[in-house]
Amino acid sequence: MLDYIGRLDNFDGPDIAEYALHDDYRLYEEAFAIYRKFELHSEAVDVLLLRIGNVSRAHEFAEKVNVPEVWSKLAN
């Protein structure tokens, strides 16, 4: 599925990511990939921290995008 996300261009990313995050599906990696693709950095780091629970990966992501709101969420 992650491969398709990388290849598709014309879709409503935030809506699809919300479906992926739903408790029935729990497609957290897919939601993270969609948010990252659409440059929704704040939402992407939320997935890493709150759904996947990987602080070190969230730190790597924060270093990569270097956006204040991502660093703020990581600090909290």
User: Each residue's pLDDT tens digit in the chain (76 positions)?
Assistant: 677 787 777 788 999 999 999 999 999 999 999 999 999 999 999 999 999 999 999 999 999 999 999 999 999 9
pLDDT of residue 1: 67
Strands (E), 1-76: none
Report the distance separating Cα 49 and Cα 44, nearest Å. 9
| Run of H or E residues at 75 | helix 68-75
Report the distance separating Cα 31 and Cα 51, nearest Å. 10
CB atoms within 10 A of CB 17: 25
Number of domains into which the chain is organized: 1
pLDDT of residue 7: 77
Domain that holds residue 46: 2-75
pLDDT of residue 9: 77
Global pTM value:
0.91
Identify the three-state secondary structure at position 58: helix
